Chains A and B, each alone.
Chain A
Amino acid sequence: MVMPLKVLIEQAEQAKLDDEEGVKPVTGLLFDLYSRWVAWFDFYNNKVDNPSIPCTFSYRDRTAKATSQSGFEDYPRASNVNELFEIHLDLQTWMIEFAGLM
């Protein structure tokens, strides 16, 4: 969801340059949903952060076979679950994108 949000904001910035009126539907959507996006970012930033190294993240409640909170449920990860000490590269990348967006 982060990627289309970024595209929408880019479109809004471009539309603002082209047509002041044309940007209103996009800013309306952003305004309506902004508080929810903040809550969503806070959820990831506070609930899946990794206390062992600042600003790192990992999915919680995973098993050795599946990471159900992830979009890559069956992506191979460490066979030993070491919650709070492991960092998940895909989530780390999403959080860099997400933080940049916010």
Chain B
Amino acid sequence: MQHDGRGTFAVEEIEDSEYNTRIRVEYVSLDAEDEQDEFWQAVFSFEAIDKHRSLKIVPFLYLRKDKDMKAHPFQISIERDEQSANVQAVKVLQKSRELDENTFQVFEFAKVRGEREDTSCLSLFALNTEDLAEFEDHEVDKLLQTHVASFLTESIANEMDPNIILLRLNSLTPNSEDSKSISSVSDGEKFMVSFTKKTFNRKREATNLRQIQEESLQTFEEKVRVKDEQFRQEISEKFGVTNQNDTSFNFTTETVSNLLGSIGHYNGPLKRWMKSMGHTFVKTDDFMIDLLTACPSRARYARGFSWDEGFHLLPICKWDFNLCSEIFRSWFYTMESDGWLPNE
């Protein structure tokens, strides 16, 4: 795993032996023409761990509206390259009321390597459901359970104004003349996601934008190679592990990356331990608090913890002073008027 914590470079590999699958995610943020613009790309690769056995995985990517849709409304329009249920490339335009009139967020999804057969595809599933408001961002699997039958069997369920869009990466194997069944993504397939936030002169320019093209994968891989080299050099200099072939270098890279990759924005109520309320945590105010914090054990402890953050900040401050400074400020701005700093 490699992660710079600055949102500019990350590589992560996940191995799941039960499903004979190795998933590699590479992410690079690219220089935009204007400071207000944003441009990043990511590639998802799927490989069989044991080449004598097939993969057993049907991965999906999703894009959803914020839970608090009133505060952050935006429109999604979907455009496909092919007027077919099984699409090879998908584009999603988002427009938020918070942004300028002609500022769009354009998501492009496309298969960039793999068997170019008709049976192998990127399938779209767009849905407008009231259920979405009930689930947190990380709970989309619960939503899927509600709609799992149609999600796994239908190629597309389109809505005019979807609040969640899912892209299923799989092969469709003909069962008979009339029906098809879904099979696993094929070995060696790669899918690219490209994000562009930019102010256009006209909406048509956003609609016509094509960041993923024939040579995109090759260009992307070269950028990852350069970023990888810069990242390794910076790890060497800042943590004093000069021999990049040594196990201590890999250990440092893995642990620092896991910590940096866990830094995120959190939002929620502040709770204070109250003896007078029967030894329980009680909300101090009705308003929500924002917090920028590291949270390396998200699976077991998915929130910031001020005691641990002290230890997290030791390597973070060594790595990047700006990051360190923002996290320090974020924690200390949560302080109550009596000088109490929240534990978590």
Contact = CB atoms under 8 A, between A and B. Distances in A.
A61 B308 CA distance: 21
A61 B275 contact: yes
Interface string B317-344: 1000110110011011001001111010
B314 interface: yes
Contacts of A39: 335, 338-339
Nearest to B312: A4
A75 B279 CA distance: 18
Interface residues of B, dominant DSSP: helix
Query: Chain B, interface size: which category?
Result: 20 to 34
Interface string A1-38: 11110011001000000000000011001001100110
Interface residues of A, dominant DSSP: helix
A52 interface: no
B311 interface: yes
B339 A40 contact: yes
A85 interface: no
Contacts of A82: none
Nearest to A1: B310
B279 A7 contact: no
Interface string B166-209: 00000000000000000000000000000000000000000000
A26 to B, nearest CB: 7
Interface in B288-306: 305-306
A54 interface: no
Nearest to B337: A39
A29 B279 contact: no
Given A4-B317, A42-B339, A61 B274 contact: yes
A41 B279 CA distance: 24
B311 A3 contact: yes
Interface in B259-303: 273-275, 279, 281
A93 interface: no
B325 A2 contact: no
Given A25-B321, A29-B325, A42-B339, A2 B273 contact: no
Interface in A50-70: 60-61, 63, 68-70
A84 B310 CA distance: 27
A37 B335 CA distance: 10
B307 interface: yes
* B306, B309, B335 — most chain A CB neighbours (10 Å): B335
A62 B202 CA distance: 62
Contacts of B279: 61, 63, 68
B273 A1 contact: no
A7 B325 CA distance: 13
* A7, A26, A39, A47 — most chain B CB neighbours (10 Å): A39
B321 A61 contact: no
B313 interface: yes
A11 B317 CA distance: 10
Contacts of A7: 314, 317
Nearest to A90: B307
Contacts of A100: none
B340 A1 contact: no
Contacts of B341: 1, 40, 43
A39 B334 CA distance: 13
Nearest to B317: A4
Closest 4 CB pairs of A and B: A71-B307, A43-B339, A39-B339, A4-B313
Interface of A: 1-4, 7-8, 11, 25-26, 29, 32-33, 36-37, 39-43, 47, 60-61, 63, 68-71
30 contacts: A1-B309, A1-B310, A1-B328, A1-B331, A3-B311, A3-B313, A4-B313, A4-B317, A4-B328, A7-B314, A7-B317, A8-B317, A25-B321, A29-B328, A36-B332, A37-B332, A39-B335, A43-B339, A43-B341, A47-B338, A47-B339, A47-B340, A61-B273, A61-B279, A63-B279, A68-B279, A68-B281, A68-B343, A69-B273, A69-B343
